[in-house]
């Protein structure tokens, strides 16, 4: 290929459009990765270096020391918080995915009275930010007497209106009515059909909602902040924030910034792992072949 034709090709409109797109995505990538990069770099620094060295590059490597402190400070309560977060995120993720799958499937596949109204309510609740509901939620939970218990975090997190919406759309497309009819004629009851036939087809959607709820609960700060007051129930978000504010307030007496940063790094890792694990469920074509 001569240099001239190469040049000509380089300037075709299609190529130019494509390189714009690439550039654009690259900028986004940097925008999203920069904080993560800062987190990785900073977690390797000691407290004084955190403020005295250039933020986006490594200085003296102090990661091991930082990690050791993260897991031992305050009697190793970080591990408890990690455990709490995992418990909240996993139960909320699995629970929300299960409920959303069942509800979305019911909306998609059954005709019942009030279906339209109920679905409108679900759609409406997507628009309401959880933050706005926290105070009424607090009052409700304290009436029931589960304020400052793990249930106060888990129960509200089991509800995922977006998940219901997603699963309805997914079930409408993925589960053919004829399949349900076939199972009915074969003698299966509705729950059995859901369990043995429909759910298998809905797994990719289930995994999606699971991941969304898992991440949302893992990162949730405001709800646990409001409904929990005993540190041993805290998730990482609230715990780390408390460490952070105590070091700010302490005026240098109680400097914990480096372990807050290292603790944040550790907190990110399980989410990344969850993404990688669930990725393989995002494969379409699960129903392929069952119904032509």
Cβ closer to another protein: 150 or 176?
176
Among 32-40, 101-109, 176-184, 224-232, the segment contacting another protein (CB under 8 A): 176-184
Q: Which of 87, 162, 188, 215 binds another protein (CB under 8 A)?
A: 188
Identified binder of another protein from the candidate list 18, 83, 135, 186, rule CB under 8 A: 186
Question: Is there binding between residue 286 and another protein (CB under 8 A)?
Answer: yes
In angstroms, give the least distance from the CB of 186 to another protein: 4
Residue 173 interacts with another protein (CB under 8 A): yes or no: no
CB of 144 to another protein, least distance (A): 39
The reply on whether position 283 binds another protein by CB under 8 A is: no
Residues 250-269 that bind another protein (CB under 8 A): none
Under the binding rule (CB under 8 A), the answer on residue 179 touching another protein is yes
- The answer to whether 167 and 104 are in contact (CB under 8 A) is yes
Q: Which CB sits closer to another protein, 183 or 210? A: 183
Least separation, in Å, of the C-beta of 192 and another protein? Answer: 7
CA distances from 179 to 12, 109, 165, 232 (A): 50, 11, 22, 49
Q: Which is nearer to another protein, 182 or 278 (CB)?
A: 182
116 sits near another protein (criterion: CB under 8 A):
no
Task: Kindly write down the DSSP assignment for every residue of 216-279, as one continuous string.
Answer: HHHH--HHHHHH--SGGG--HHHHHHHHHHHHHHTTTTT--HHHHHHHHHHHHHHHHHHHHHHG
73: left (phi over 0), alpha (psi -120 to 50) or beta: beta
| 273 is a contact residue toward another protein (CB under 8 A) | no
With tokens 């009436």, the residue in question is 143
Q: Take residue 287 and report the two structure tokens written for it.
A: 């129903």
Do 172 and 107 meet the contact criterion of CB atoms below 8 Å apart?
no
195 binds another protein (CB under 8 A): no
Tell me: does residue 202 bind another protein (CB under 8 A).
Answer: no
Cα 98 to Cα 200, 208, 245, 277, 280, distances in angstroms: 12, 11, 37, 18, 19
Q: Which stretch binds another protein (CB under 8 A): 84-92, 154-162, 211-219, 282-290?
A: 282-290
Please choose, from the candidates 223, 217, 255, 263, the residue with its C-alpha nearest in 3D space to the C-alpha of residue 239.
263
CB of 64 to another protein, least distance (A): 47
What is the sign, positive or negative, of the torsion defined by CA atoms of 245, 246, 249, 251?
A: negative
Contact 202, 170 (CB under 8 A): yes
Q: Which residue has the tokens 């890792």?
A: 269
Question: Least CB distance from residue 202 to another protein, whole Å?
Answer: 11
Q: How many residues bind another protein (CB under 8 A)?
A: 25
**Toward another protein, which CB reaches closer, 219 or 287?**
287
Instruction: Please report, as ranges, the residues that interact with another protein according to CB under 8 A.
Output: 176, 178-179, 181-189, 192, 196-197, 200-201, 285-292
């Amino acid at each position: 290929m001569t240099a001239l034709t190469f040049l000509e090709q380089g300037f075709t409109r299609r190529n130019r459009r494509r390189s714009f797109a690439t550039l654009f995505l690259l900028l986004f990538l940097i925008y999203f990765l920069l904080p993560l990069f800062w987190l990785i770099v900073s977690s390797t620094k000691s407290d004084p270096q955190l403020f005295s060295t250039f933020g986006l590059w490594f200085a003296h490597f102090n990661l091991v020391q930082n990690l050791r402190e993260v897991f031992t400070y305050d009697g190793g309560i970080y591990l408890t918080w990690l455990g709490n977060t995992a418990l909240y995120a996993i139960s909320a993720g699995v629970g929300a995915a299960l409920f959303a799958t069942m509800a979305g499937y019911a909306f998609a596949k059954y005709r019942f009275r009030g279906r339209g109204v109920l679905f409108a309510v679900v759609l409406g609740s997507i628009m309401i930010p959880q933050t706005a509901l926290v105070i009424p939620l607090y009052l409700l939970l304290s009436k029931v007497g589960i304020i400052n218990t793990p249930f106060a975090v888990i129960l509200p997190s089991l509800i995922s209106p977006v998940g219901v919406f997603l699963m309805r759309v997914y079930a409408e497309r993925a589960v053919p009515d004829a399949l349900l009819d076939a199972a009915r004629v074969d003698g299966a009851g509705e729950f059995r059909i859901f369990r043995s036939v429909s759910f298998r087809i809905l797994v990719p959607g289930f995994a999606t909602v699971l991941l969304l709820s898992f991440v949302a609960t893992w990162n949730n700060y405001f709800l646990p902040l409001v409904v929990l007051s005993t540190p041993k129930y805290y998730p990482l978000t609230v715990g780390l924030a408390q460490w952070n504010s105590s070091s700010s307030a302490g005026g240098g007496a109680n400097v914990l910034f480096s372990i807050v940063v290292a603790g944040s790094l550790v907190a990110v890792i399980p989410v990344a792992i969850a993404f990688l694990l669930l990725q393989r469920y995002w494969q379409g074509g699960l129903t392929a072949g069952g119904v032509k």
